[in-house]
Structure 1
Amino acid sequence: MTTNTYQDYRTLSFERSGRILKIIIDSPESRNAVDDALHTDLARVFHEVNDDAATDVVILTGVGRWFCAGGDMTWFQDLIDAPQRWHHMIVDAKRIIDSLLALEKPIIARVNGAAAGLGASIALLCDMVVAVDTAVIGDPHVKMGLVAGDGGAIIWPQLVGFARAKEMLLTGRMLSAKEAAAIGLINYAVPAEELDAKTDALANELAMGATLAIRWTKTVMNLELRRISDLLTEAALAYETKTNFSEDHQEAVRAFVEKRQPKFTGR
């Protein structure tokens, strides 16, 4: 059942089943890539969900064959060319992380396809992750000449430890969903025909549980993540700002558009 509660979102759509709300990243023409519209919507939506008295459980997913395929290249170039847009984006980046960690209601990421960069961060900052086994997940910021500033440096070490997190974030390598489940990065990697059943079973189990006990147990567990986020996020975004205006980042964007390997110089 669709819902009319959430208005004026450009890139998100919503469905409701009882007290379970599904948030759908809905930009299929761009593989659900992050652009200004999606970034702005994500900075707002989790605050609204927290205040939504009709919702006890949230599912976050993407439309089509993608969850969220990372940053849109046109947007990346715009953020290089217009520094004022970058500085506005940084404010929203912190809002996304803060509001997702402050959300009291349990949220399940239904990863139906590729989750890269911010797409991976928002999935991993959810409480549980169920992915189709053909999906890939990773944070390739460094491959774009950027610091992993929008949540990756916060959540990856907490889930898989520093050794694995450093390997993945410093190489920008993508993992298959099966690999991610094997190392504890996500909860489940399931065949496509089982994705809805597994996600819905978890959501229904939560919806039928003791709502306040579930919410506040989550709240307590997230206190440490919020403390870490408060410690790291501003520094991470500041370093990402420096790399946004680096020659290497411009080269990475140009190389992606030209379909070639970037030639990094360390500048």
Structure 2
Amino acid sequence: MKPFLILEREDAILTVRMDSPETRNALSDPSQMQEFVDLCANVRVDRSIKVVVLTGNGPAFCAGGNVKDMRERGGIFAGSPYEVRESYRNGIQRIPLCLYDLDVPVIAAMNGPAVGAGLDLACMCDVRIAADTAKFAESFVKLGIVPGDGGAWLLPRIVGMPRASLMALTGDTIDAQTALAWGLVTEVVPAAELETAALGIARRMAANPAHGLRLTKRLLREGQHMRLDSLLEMSAAYQALAHHTEDHMEAVAAFVEKREPKFTGR
């Protein structure tokens, strides 16, 4: 079986491509989910990676669950209710637990439709940009099921509860310009320019010190469920760590000397 994820490296930027265009990059096989888990584990310990760009090959970003498997009660949808529950818990639900929690910034470059679990996958990322041909739907309800991989938690935090409710309870599709107006994506570009735009953002992030990037993302994530006073305590501790990195001192020296900094990741 060929890998679902294709990895490409440009300096400190890792581009990850979902590569099953014949299924519109549907997420239905446990091996695909394991690839995401393994990817996150590897990125977490590889200090040379500063930014991840996630995109899809073919006409779609990700079509979500495989509807044919649902019809046939096959794959992760097979078995008793208890077995299906365990398939979710030990399968696709491992992706939000590792991807949303990843230390490095993740940019979703949405080359085409992101539907159901595909939209939720994009919502696990930090920044989303879209091709002008992309479309988006939290479409579970149209199949008589619920967001099973975190969408009910993720989507309201991005577009707000009223719009998330509208998307989840109608299952309707929105276009790229509506997604931009709602804050679901930060930028819409012609399809041919999508990767250039995504890599441009990635390079701007990767130009910063690695420690600062990882610590800042962690604060943003923790701030989603912490009280202000607790977050301030964590911020003080992280700031103390950051002040004692070599890259911080290099950044300060470069600023004072009006030159470009040279970071080493230390």
TM-score in same-fold range (> 0.5): yes
Point out where structure 1 has 5 or more consecutive residues left out of the alignment.
1-7, 228-267
Structure 1 pair 52–109 and aligned structure 2 pair: CA distance change class (3 A) = same
d(CA) in 2 for partners of 1:85, 1:20: 36
Greater shift in the superposed pair: 90-99 or 164-173 = 90-99
Secondary structure in 1 matching 2:160: helix
Q: Work out whether 1:42 is the aligned partner of 2:36.
A: yes
CA RMSD of aligned residues (A): 1.9
Deviation at 1:42, TM superposition (A): 2.4
Deviation at 1:223, TM superposition (A): 1.2
Deviation at 1:179, TM superposition (A): 0.6
d(CA) in 2 for partners of 1:187, 1:149: 25
Residue 188 of structure 2 corresponds to which residue in structure 1? 189
d(CA) in 2 for partners of 1:34, 1:21: 21
- Alignment partner of 1:70 out of 61, 64, 74: 64
State the AA in 2 paired with 1:21.
Answer: L
Residue correspondence of structure 1 range 99-248 to structure 2 within 5 A: 99-225=98-224
Residue 23 of structure 1 corresponds to which residue in structure 2? 16
Structure 1 pair 218–80 and aligned structure 2 pair: CA distance change class (3 A) = closer
Structure 1 pair 222–9 and aligned structure 2 pair: CA distance change class (3 A) = farther
CA contact (8 A) 2:105 2:213 kept: yes
- Alignment partner of 2:79 out of 62, 78, 82: 82
Deviation at 1:75, TM superposition (A): 2.8
- When the two structures are superposed, what TM-score results if normalisation uses the length of structure 2? 0.77
Secondary structure in 2 matching 1:15: strand
Q: Quick check: which has more Rg, 1 or 2?
A: 2
- When the two structures are superposed, what TM-score results if normalisation uses the length of structure 1? 0.77
State the AA in 2 paired with 1:217.
Answer: T
Deviation at 1:187, TM superposition (A): 0.9
The size of the alignment, in residue pairs, is: 220
- Render the CA deviation track for 1:151-209: whole Å, top value 9, x for unaligned: 21111111111111111111111111111011111111111132122111101001111
Point out where structure 2 has 5 or more consecutive residues left out of the alignment.
227-266
d(CA) in 2 for partners of 1:40, 1:226: 27
Residue 3 of structure 1 corresponds to which residue in structure 2? none
Residue 60 of structure 1 corresponds to which residue in structure 2? 54
CA contact (8 A) 1:98 1:226 kept: no
Deviation at 1:66, TM superposition (A): 1.2
Q: Work out whether 1:95 is the aligned partner of 2:94.
A: yes
State the AA in 1 paired with 2:13.
Answer: I
Secondary structure in 2 matching 1:59: strand
Structure 1 pair 24–226 and aligned structure 2 pair: CA distance change class (3 A) = farther
